[in-house]
Amino acid sequence: MTEEIRKLVIAGSGVAGLSAAVYAARADLDPLVLEGDEPGGQLTLTTDVENYLGFPEGVGGMELILRGKEQAEQFGAEFQHGSIEAAGLNGQPLELSLSTGDTVYTWALIVATGASARWVDAENEDELMGHGLSTCATCDGAFHRGDDVLIAGGGDSAMEEAVFLAKFADNVTVVHRREELRASKITADRAREHDDTEFARNTELVTIQGSQEDGVTGATLVSHPNGYPREKYEAGGDVATEDFGVGGVFYAVGHEPNTDFLRETPVDLDKDGYVQTADTGDAWATTATATDGVFAAGDVMDREYQQAVTAAGTGSMAALDVEDWLESAAEVATDSTEPIATEADD
């Protein structure tokens, strides 16, 4: 048996992967895009995107993704179902084992697998995500001018979201399950400076009310003076329950980069699992990792901005960096789709 070696595989079909695919396909790198378990990525979870350049009326998240995919396919990008489950990245060619059972060989890999926002597991969250429930205040805060909103979380990102939402909302309530906030004093102080921001300590969200037509209309909170009230509520314990009228709920309990398949590889991950790109001093230093042929783009390598337009930006950078790298790396410069013998030949 022989296997084709691809010039480039892009892991992830979110906005970063699609942007990389458009650039790579136009540069004749014949990219194969692995769609993962969530084809189209996080933007498919939202209705309106108002801050992506070029759409003054806003654009639906799904529409933006479908148009991006069409654009990439038009230039020759190929899409395939499945996720990378394991990767052999110790030498060329790179070997990717997929959830479909297939193995793909490639000279270059762009990891664009995103970082999934953690959810709090409140009742109705599946139905209301993108309909008044959000994981991104920068993205959706402006839809809540004049609303009362609630933020679940007590860390630095929850405080930053609170400060941001205070610009639009009438009242911001930060719901935190313990007495003490996890946030640093400086970010917590910034949030406290806003008179219209309140803190519900020892309190947790259990249900969100509303519908996809009407959006979020309320939330049910439970509280207990000793903290962690939800555990007690679910065990039938004595907790206070309150229904709260709100027009929006924001989850700010962290993100989980989708990098499990890189844990046993030489690719550097930071303490939270985000891919670390290397500063090698080479032209392709921005999105390259320290592992030959492995590049990263989008939320999986950018814990700071996590926006569609920044993910698209790093996606295009990664494709340009791969193009440069393929031209420069002598051992992969020619005959990149030449069949190779695999272990199955032995």
Ligand X SMILES: Cc1cc2nc3c(=O)[nH]c(=O)nc-3n(C[C@H](O)[C@H](O)[C@H](O)COP(=O)(O)OP(=O)(O)OC[C@H]3O[C@@H](n4cnc5c(N)ncnc54)[C@H](O)[C@@H]3O)c2cc1C
**What is the rounded CA–CA span in Å between residue 208 and residue 132?**
10
139 included as an active-site residue: yes
Closest C-alpha to 167, from 149, 152, 183? 149
Closest C-alpha to 218, from 249, 252, 251, 174? 249
**What is the rounded CA–CA span in Å between residue 42 and residue 44?**
5
Does residue 66 bind ligand X (CB under 6 A)?
no
Annotated catalytic residue within 28, 37, 121, 136: 136
Beta bridge partners of 33: 10, 79
Q: Between 10 and 200, name the residue whose CB sits nearer to ligand X.
A: 10
Does residue 122 bind ligand X (CB under 6 A)?
no
Q: Between 187 and 259, name the residue whose CB sits nearer to ligand X.
A: 259
Report DSSP state, residue 326. H
Does residue 126 bind ligand X (CB under 6 A)?
no
346 included as an active-site residue: no
Q: Is the dihedral of CA 172, 175, 180, 181 positive or negative?
A: negative
**What is the rounded CA–CA span in Å between residue 346 and residue 331?**
24
Q: Which of 94, 174, 308, 322 binds ligand X (CB under 6 A)?
A: 308
* Rounded least distance, CB 48 to ligand X, Å: 7
Annotated catalytic residue within 30, 121, 126, 140: 140
Does residue 200 bind ligand X (CB under 6 A)?
no
The residue type found at 244 is: F
Q: Between 37 and 331, name the residue whose CB sits nearer to ligand X.
A: 37
**Residue 95: CA atoms inside 13 Å, Cβ hemisphere, count?**
10
Beta bridge partners of 210: 216
Q: Which of 12, 31, 68, 155 binds ligand X (CB under 6 A)?
A: 12
Report DSSP state, residue 285. T
Cβ atoms of 284 and 293 closer than 8 Å: no
Q: Between 11 and 219, name the residue whose CB sits nearer to ligand X.
A: 11
- Interface of this chain with ligand X, residues 252 to 291, rule: CB under 6 A: 258, 261
The residue type found at 261 is: F
Q: Between 45 and 172, name the residue whose CB sits nearer to ligand X.
A: 45
- Count the site residues for ligand X by CB under 6 A: 43
Closest C-alpha to 104, from 89, 126, 124? 89
140 included as an active-site residue: yes
* Rounded least distance, CB 182 to ligand X, Å: 22
Q: Which of 41, 132, 215, 247 binds ligand X (CB under 6 A)?
A: 41
* Active-site annotation, residues: 136, 139-140
Residues at the interface with ligand X (CB under 6 A): 11-17, 34-39, 41-43, 45-46, 49, 51, 83-84, 112-114, 117, 129-130, 134-136, 139-140, 258, 261, 298-300, 306-309, 311
